[in-house]
Structure 1
C-alpha cells in the first residue's frame, strides 16, 4: 500500500524509476501503449483503488457472479429512512446544486475537488466529518453529502498558546487575551502552555457553509463549474429534510441507501 502500482506493457520506463516518478504521481499508473506520457488510470481515486483491492481479495476467497453483476440496491422505505437517519445520532448535511450540462469526465473532476475542499473546510473549523460523498445524475442535479458527528459545536473553544519557554510569544499572547472581554476563561497555564477559552466565530456547520458559499465558494476551493451553479442557486438540507428529493430521485435514493449502510455489496457475499 505504500508503493504505487505500475502497469507498463511496453516497458517505456524500465530501469527509469526516476523519470516515472517525475511524470506520474497517482497511486495507480497504467501507461498508455501509444503515449508514454499518459496515465490511462489517472482518474482512479485512491479510495476506489483500495476498495478494488479489498473486493479482489474477497473474490479470490469466494468467486461469485455478483462481483461482476452487482445486485440492484432497493431504496429504504421513507419511514425506514427517517428512522435510520434519526437513530444514527449524527447529522447529515446535503448541499444540492443544479449545474449546467457538461462532459461527465469534467463534471466529476470538479465535483470531487469541491467535495474534498468542503470536507477540509468543515474539518478546519473543528467539525468531525465521519463520511462524505457526492452524487450526480450527470445532467442537471448534484448532491454533496456530509455526515458530521454533530452539526452544532459547543460555543466554548480552547485556544492553546505558546509554551512558557518562548517568552516573547507568551507576552504577545497575554497582550492579546488578558483584557479581551470575549474570553470565557483564562488565560491560565496547563502543560507548560498558556490557554484561553473563547467563543467560536462559527459553531454551526450550516452557517459556515452559507458564509463561505456566498460568492460561489471559489475562495475555499470550490471548482469553477460548481461555483457558478452555487452562485445561481443552491440549497442546504439537514437530516430528514432530504426526504422529498429522496422520493423524487430513484437513483439518488439507491445511492443514499448504500451510503447509509456503508457496507459494500461484495462484502455481503464474502
Structure 2
C-alpha cells in the first residue's frame, strides 16, 4: 500500500465515522419528534369529529351540501407534524361560482358553529380559529377550483399542495421532513410569516422530497451558491429574483420560497456546515426563546465597552397584524438608518423589535415598538463640507458660486482643485437632534409607523437605552431578551 493509498483510507475512515455519527443523531432526533400512536390516534379522532361538525353546520346553509367538501390540510394531514404540535387545519371548499361575500359569510357561520368559543382572524379573508379537544384548529373557507392556477383567493391552492405531497412523501421521507423542520425551528429559520421570513412547512417538505432526504439536503445546502433554483415539475417558465427559488409544482407562476430572506438561506447553510462537521442532537433542541434577558446594568456596561452611540426611537406599536407590522418596522428602520448614515453618523448595526402580549380575547397584540440604530459618531462638527461642480461646468458652476457668494454663514466658496467648495452650517450635529425633529418624517417610513410616531415617541440615546431592559409598559422586562440577542449576536 502506498502512502497515498493509506491517506485515502484514513480520510475514508474519518468520513465514515462522521457519517455514522450523523446517522445516529438523525435517528435519535427522528425518534424524539415523531408523534406516538396515542397522539396520532387522538389527532385523527379529533379531525374526524370536526369534519362531522362541519357537515352538520353546512346543512343549515342555503347551499347544496354535495357541492361542498371539507379537506384536512397541512402537516397533520400529510403526517409530517412534530410531536407535541397541536394544529388541525380544515378547509371548507365551496363552489367556485359562489360570490365572495357569501364565501366569507358562510365560512364564518360554519366556523362559529363548529368552534363556538373560537375567534375570528383574517388572512386574505376572515376565518375562525379556536380549540377543540386540546388541539388548535383553523377552519378556513376556500373555493373549489380545478387547479392551483385558477385560484380566486390565495388559500385556494393549499389543498393542491396537500394532494401533491401526500402522493409523494412516504413514511421515511415524512420522518426526514420532521427532522428538517425541527432543525429549522432550532436555528430560528422556520416560518413563512413576514416577521421570520423563513422556510414554510410546505417549502421544507418540497426540499426534502427534491433531495431525497434530510442528509442529502443538508449536504447540498452546505454548498449552495445563491441564487439557487429548483423546479420539481420542470415548469421552466417564470423567473424570480430571490436567493432561493422553488417553483410551486402546482402553480408555475409562484416561488414557494419568495418570502425566505437571504439571511435565512445563509443561516441554513451555516448550521448545515456546523452539523455536518460536528453531528449532535443538541443543535436540534436549542432554547428557541433566546438568551436570558439582560438587566439595565449589563446593557449600560455593553454601551460603555463598545463606545458607540445607540439611539432608540420608542413608540406605541401600530394596531396592525404581524404580517403588516414587521415589514413596516423594517422599512422605517432602513429609512432612519440610511439617513443617519448619509448625514455622517456612521451606522454600525440596526434592529427593530416590538413587545408582544395578548388581548382580552387571547389574540396576539403588541405594546411598544423600538427602532434601534447603533452609531459610530455621537456628535459632528458645526460645519460640513459641501462640494460643487468643477469650475469648467459653466452654467452649474456659476449657479453654485452665486448661491453661496453672498452668504455670510458659509466659508467660501473657494477652490479645491478644480471644484468650488463651501463649508456650511450642518443642519444636525447630533443624531438625537435629527430623530427628535420633524425631519424624521421626511425619511421612508411605513405608513402606520409614521402615524404612530406622529402621535408621539420617545428617544433614548447612549446609556439611556438600558431603560428598555427595565420596562416596556406592558409586561415587565420584555426587551431584555432582544437586547441580549443584539449584544451577543450569532448566525
Q: Say yes or no: TM over 0.5.
A: yes
Shift of 1:3: 4.7
Q: Which ranges of structure 2 fall in alignment gaps of 5 or more residues?
A: 1-223, 357-364
Shift of 1:114: 1.5
Shift of 1:91: 0.4
Residue of structure 1 equivalent to 2:449: 226
Higher relative contact order, structure no. (Cα contacts within 8 Å, ≥ 6 residues apart): 1
TM-score scaled by length of structure 2? 0.48
Shift of 1:89: 1.2
Specify which of 159, 171, 177 is matched with residue 398 of structure 2. 171
The answer as to whether partners of 2:309 and 2:374 remain within 8 angstroms in 1 is: yes
1:137/1:43 Cα in 2 relative to 1: closer, same or farther (>3 Å)?
farther
Rounded to whole Å, the distance in 1 between the matches of 2:308 and 2:266 is 26
Q: Does the alignment pair 1:94 with 2:317?
A: no
Rounded to whole Å, the distance in 2 between the matches of 1:252 and 1:61 is 34
Residue of structure 2 equivalent to 1:198: 424
Residue of structure 2 equivalent to 1:132: 350
The answer as to whether partners of 1:212 and 1:220 remain within 8 angstroms in 2 is: no
Rounded to whole Å, the distance in 1 between the matches of 2:337 and 2:230 is 32
1:245/1:156 Cα in 2 relative to 1: closer, same or farther (>3 Å)?
same
Q: Does the alignment pair 1:262 with 2:478?
A: no
- Whichever of the two has the greater Rg, that structure is 2
The answer as to whether partners of 1:213 and 1:230 remain within 8 angstroms in 2 is: no
Rounded to whole Å, the distance in 2 between the matches of 1:156 and 1:233 is 30
Q: Which ranges of structure 1 fall in alignment gaps of 5 or more residues?
A: 265-270
Which segment drifts farther, 191-200 or 59-68?
59-68
Q: Does the alignment pair 1:119 with 2:119?
A: no
Shift of 1:11: 2.1
Rounded to whole Å, the distance in 2 between the matches of 1:66 and 1:129 is 35
Rounded to whole Å, the distance in 1 between the matches of 2:477 and 2:257 is 30
Specify which of 420, 433, 437 is matched with residue 211 of structure 1. 437
Rounded to whole Å, the distance in 2 between the matches of 1:136 and 1:142 is 4
Rounded to whole Å, the distance in 2 between the matches of 1:104 and 1:65 is 32
After superposition, the C-alpha distances for 1:59-91 in whole angstroms (9 at most, x for unaligned) are 332233343333441233432321211221110
The answer as to whether partners of 1:152 and 1:204 remain within 8 angstroms in 2 is: yes
Shift of 1:246: 0.7
After superposition, the C-alpha distances for 1:111-154 in whole angstroms (9 at most, x for unaligned) are 11222222122223222111001112342222111001113221
TM-score scaled by length of structure 1? 0.83
Residue of structure 2 equivalent to 1:106: 324
What is the root-mean-square deviation of aligned Cα atoms in Å? 2.4
Rounded to whole Å, the distance in 2 between the matches of 1:195 and 1:227 is 36
Shift of 1:94: 0.9
Rounded to whole Å, the distance in 2 between the matches of 1:205 and 1:198 is 18
Runs ≥4 in structure 1, deviation > 4 angstroms? none
Q: Does the alignment pair 1:180 with 2:407?
A: yes
1:235/1:148 Cα in 2 relative to 1: closer, same or farther (>3 Å)?
same
Alignment of 1:33-72 (within 5 A): 33-71=249-287, 72=290
Specify which of 286, 301, 305 is matched with residue 83 of structure 1. 301
Shift of 1:197: 1.0
The answer as to whether partners of 1:156 and 1:200 remain within 8 angstroms in 2 is: yes
